[in-house]
Structure 1
Amino acid sequence: MEDSTTALNKALKHNKRLKQLLKKHQHFHNMQDALIQLSEQASTVSELTLLYPAIHQILEAYLPSKNFYVVLLDEKNQQLELNYFIDEKDPIFVPLTDDDHFSHGLTGYVFKTGKTQLYNKKSMLNDHQLGKFKIKGSPCEHWLGIPIYKDEKIVGVMVTQSYYAEQSYTDTQVELVEIISLYLSTAIERVKQRESLEQEVKTRTSELTKANKALKIEIEQRKKALKQQQILFKISELATQSKNLDDFYFKIHKIIKSITYADNLYICLYDKNKNKLTFPYAVDSLEGNYADRYFAKGYTEYVISKSCTQLLNRRTASNLIKQGLIKRSEKNIKATSWVGAPLISEQGVIGIIACQSYDNTYTFKTHDADLITFVSQQIANVLQKHLTTAQLKQSHEQLEQRVTKKTQELQRSNHFLQLQIEERKKIEQQLYHDAHHDPLTGLANRSLFMSQLEQALNQHLRHPQPGFAVLFIDLDNFKEINDTFGHQVGDLFLIHIADSLNLCIREHDLLARLGGDEFVILLTHIYQKHEAQEVAERIIDSLSCPFNANDSIITSGASIGITCSHQNYQHTDEIMKDADTAMYQAKKTGRGRYEFYHAHNKEAKSQELAYLDLFHINDIYFKANAIIDNTNENHVACIIDRFWLHPTLGKIRFDQIEKYINKDYDYHQIEISLLPKINDFIQCKHAILINSSIKLITDNYFVNLITELKKLKISHQLCLLFNEIELRHINKDTRNNILKLKKQGIKIGLDDYAHTRCDLSILTQYQFDFILLSPLMCKKIIQDEGHQLQLQGILAVANLTQASVIAKGPSILNYQKSLKKYGISLYSSQYEYIHDKVKNINNIYTHTS
């Protein structure tokens, strides 16, 4: 009986502990879910008025928060101002009844103390009586105020309150609100930036719309003016080329009709000696032939006497008749609009040209008068020419001869001058090129590179995005190449290196030779650090290929130092120095590799040596990421990553720790000894993929590898992933060992496939169970039609070999849907793997060996 009681007590204690763990797990889950929702809202909402209701909605899911408001500090007047408010009892205007309302209340008390304050009705009244604050608004049962911080400085307060005694706030709920407040200022700042950006886009769009409208109007006006100008040129040209007056009058009339109304037009000539008017050309819809007549007081005579263009209508004609300037009965005024311009030559007014309309068919305006005036000048010029034909002809011939002679002389001078200018330009271009380029490789030299780098730095200081990166490249063993094969072969090798490097960069990037075997690259318009990393990997892969010169096989490589732009850089010398430091670090850690510059490269070199002996196998951590089938959202496998928390360098990938640990450690034997730890880390029914070194399947390690694999409980689920680049260079024995793994029931996979090239032959050499596409290949599939065709070939081979094709990349739903459209349904998510039967998240996400 006593034993059963003891067992029951133990069970109750165990049950109580499980409930506590479950409650703690639920609390962590709520915090994670709330932060994820807050991050999503900060990334999607377009304005602050939408962010605060979203935050309120998040809080309502986890605690009583129907009454909620947010108060932020106004930097201009240094007062707390209400940004969002909703309350069951108080309307919106209650908190704004006086200036600086919040400073003396509970909200101001939280702001002054900078600490979370949780009150019930009784404790609130006690502190009020002590004078700590004033109670404002409707009294509540429970009140919770959380300070909002930005860069360790308090910028506001977030408050939720309850009017019901039973709706109190637990410690876990208070902690949840405090966690949300930590990220609230960041979320507000992101939304403010998005609001500012959208407003700027709207403003610029409006400006562009106005500019386009004004431009269209200007274009139309210019088209119209150009058309009129072309027509006027035709009239001018016709006046200089016409020989027959009748034909000239007819063509002039035709041109005028193409511009304005000219159905009724006549040309009148005035003989001053005979005081007589003649009409050599007339077209009229009412009048027949215009008969010659003596000078009188008509419209024509009025223009001749005034010697200027006249624009008349019925009203102005009636006034002229009343003044006696025109002699005509008002009943005989047939034209409703009339315009006439005098023909003026050296002898004075010799006639007019006039247009008229009847029955208000058209009303002539000022621009019509200007047109008729211009035409009258051309007609007068033609008449003047015909009056003195012989004289003008002789003068014209003489002038033409002089013009021809001068033109020929000018053409000869222009041709000679043009040749001199072109020759000088070529010399200047060659001098500039020689001053800014390396004579051996034709690449940019240090002077040009530093000039371009300075421009990139100045641009970055003004506009941080996009950024840039500098790659400092030093060839490995170049001195031995020169000493062994001679400087001539060394020069050929340098030219080959320059051509190879050019193939690894984009058109807008700059490649330069600093001197000797040192090269440097300026990568512009980059947004992520991995973009520079991808270029460095391409360079290392390209320069590892042998070079054949004069039947001599030369094998070299390169050590690359990389530094990326940031706001701390103020001078180009700092950038070059850091890139050079990173390059020497790459040489020091093995050559044929790249290193990014870190500040600790210089300050902590002595400390690193002290930490080499601190490595222990129990410091290796595991992390599992899920592989999801997007067709049904099921987990089909998981990928295990291993890493070491270095005392100074932080988190280091397992495949990179060899260069940091003491040389007495056998890195690959450590990797084999870690395999049984997977049993302690995760148990699931799915396939388990783990990145492995190709050296594990060489004869030195293969027997130990097989022994450890047989010990695994999950060996039938295990899949060893090998890098595509390593597989290309293995020997026959290593290839046979891979096939032996398959016979032992161990799955094999290809990792980071198609990162540099899409080689389908490697897929047919081995029976891969899984093929993991590189993130770069996945990105290009979405953007480029050529890579989409390559994917179809990959999927066809995978279908024949019964391999699963998995995409890798960011956890973005649209990104995954785009890949699914091209036939990839499996995706390596960034979210950690969660097994259905395991509830303790910490034990799954991160587990010490």
Structure 2
Amino acid sequence: MEEPQQQVKRLSRRAARLESLLEKYKRKSQLQHTLIQLSEQASTVAELTLLYPAIHNILSQYLPSKSFYVVLQNRFTQALELSYFVDEKDAVAIPLHEAHHFKDGVTGHVFKTGKTVYLTKEEMLSRAKAGEFKILGSQAEHWVGVPIYRDGAIIGVMVSQSYEAEQSYSEHQVELLEVMSLYLATAIERVKKRELLESEVKIRTRALMQSNEALNKEIDNRKRALERQQILFQISELATQFSDIDDVYKQVHDIIRSITFADNLYIALYNKEEQWLTFPYSVDEKTRYKTRSFAKGYSELVIRTEQSQLIDCTRAKALAMEGIVERPAGYNHNLAATSWLGAPLKTATGVIGLIACQAYDHKYEFDYDDVELISFVSNQIASVLQTHLANQALKISHQQLEHRVAEKTKELQQTNLHLQMQMEERKKIEQQLYHDAHHDSLTGLPNRSLFLTQLEKTLKKHHRYPEDNFAVLFIDLDKFKDINDELGHQAGDQFLVWVSQSFSECIREHDLLARLAGDEFVVLLDHLTDRQQAEDVAKRIIKVMQQPFCLKGVCMQSGASIGITYSNKLYRNTDEIIRDADAAMYYAKNAGRGRYEFYHPLLSASSSAQKQHDQHHLDKLPTHFRYTEIVNWSDSAEPIGFIEAFGEHPVLGSTSFDILKKFAAEKPQHLEIELQLLKKAQDVAACRNDDILFNCSTMLLENNHFDVLKQQLVTEGNALCLLFEESEIRFASSQQILNLKSLAEMGIPIGLNNFGKDRCDLTLISQIDFTYVLLSSTFSKRVLQQTSYEVQLQGILAVTQVKGIKVIARGPAILNFRSLLEKHGLQLFFGKQRALDKGQETCAFIPTFDNESIPS
């Protein structure tokens, strides 16, 4: 007798064997059930487009198949083509339109080897890196592909994939796919044969119907011939028995009513010499016909073409659009016929008129059979009417002539009135277009164009009458960026509207307030007698801006920094005035904000001699460079850096040279400073291994300066990438643009700085071969906040990818920009600022600040 422990082991082995047999039975049962379902679908579905979803539905019962597709080989082109496709992620992403898309991927690999392939994400990446195939579309966690055979030859591949790591494919599920693929080719052939059979049945049915139609047509033709013969008899009697023409018209109406719809019928006669149409007979439920001049109506169309015309609503619109038919002024379109049929009355001497029938409100639709019948009738009755018309031509009275003249005069008056109304409407439209082109769309204030035009007129007036003084106030809002960041850009727009309304209350009615761009406003004060009047306006504006701006319970404190320039006989153009007012504004902002400054105190801070030194010797100021690292998230990270020159100004303190250069009075000095800074930047770049970006002004691209720039670049080498402001490039001359393009052709790297700050002009980056494009921090932050800017970013990336341009984003938060990189595919962005290494530059570490605003 067995021991209990041995009995337990024996029973365990038997239970394991039974479980194995049960599992095999379940698999066999699933396979059998699947094949039965596949056979039923192949026997029932009418077309292939319904077979693939049915197969997909069967598979989804037994394995993860939310992402499933079938690829078959085109027997003519030998290309792999997609027959069915459902995917959780790649519904739009993969280029399904490309004919040879699948041959290079893992699907093509299965087709070439003819073997089932099951890959995990790691295995696929490893084999793709080994060069066996390419990875196309989104990366799946589990991927299985099974070849499809027919008569021993592979004809396609069936693929199922899962994007979830826990949803793998078991050996039984792979086996199920293989079994399905063995019978799939047979199912496809059965459905194709069924489609072919149904197509042949349809063709034979159509042929039989055409035969019946031909027989019916022959019967109709014989009926029509009998009807025409009967009509001929009636017209013959009419020609021999009429005594009164009015009776003839009524009998003609009865004849036409017997062959087609003629509830509304009129007969029109044409006077060729005087170009008139008369209507001796008309029966109509809506329209009263009276004598009129020959114009462009339906009746005139029949007479001009000498052919019958069939006009429905569609053709009526087409004739009106082409100008063939014109309605008179004041015409009531509610009285227009929905179907109209007219036939000419032809005689040996030409067309003498027409017969027309019409239907309203789609009560009847005339067809070409009606056209043929009424054309036949009109040819027969034309000779009957000709004799009577010859007698009627002598009876036209003077009263009828006066009546026609009066009608013509009335029509002309209506036409003239219509033309006058059109001219007034056009004048209003032109005034509106002029207003829109010269005013800001947000605030309604005059824009830069209108302001500069008015400033130029004021300057010319001052030259003629020096005693008539003026002043320009350049206003920059303080902490506007904080309002945008805290309350959102919509609140920022509301704040700008509030500011424009508040500023308008601080000036006189004849003064001009304009918005230049962003948070910059300018005021032109005219008819001034002293500077105190300009100071009073500036004080009122500063006082207004001391009021907090509140929205939805949140209040923010802003302010205004104002630069004032007073009229001067030395001013020759508006650029000088704007430049000086802008410089005074920057001085006010750096001096503490929320204040105003005149232009001349800024440039005469200590004494007249010191002023000349400050103004004309900016190149002598102590200079240091700040270095900003460009972070690169790509695999092949090439080091990139951005350097910016700073100087210690006796009035402004440590300030960017891009600001200090604005105080240079003469262009030669400006050019000298630009070239000296460029030389120092080249020396810094020569000592470093990374690509160095450096800001330049478009003044270097002018013809009289460009040769000097090229000589220095060639002498010192091309270690720098020259950055130019997008706002300056947008307003550059055609010659400056040509010189910029020639730099790129010479192999000198060039870049576009602060792109997208005010607008997103893709023509700049599409027409010029830039190496780098630096997005403005304003645009980068809006991409993270507003969907509309994401679309603009995709347009930028599409153009830069084609042209091989590197795009750099900038902003205050690395986490936000990391998400921006992952979402939109950007790889470069601004990192932290720091001092250059010793031996290259020596200055203390400086924290990052917004490059589009001046640090205080």
Normalising by structure 2, report the TM-score.
0.33
In the superposition, the TM-score normalised over structure 1's length comes to: 0.33
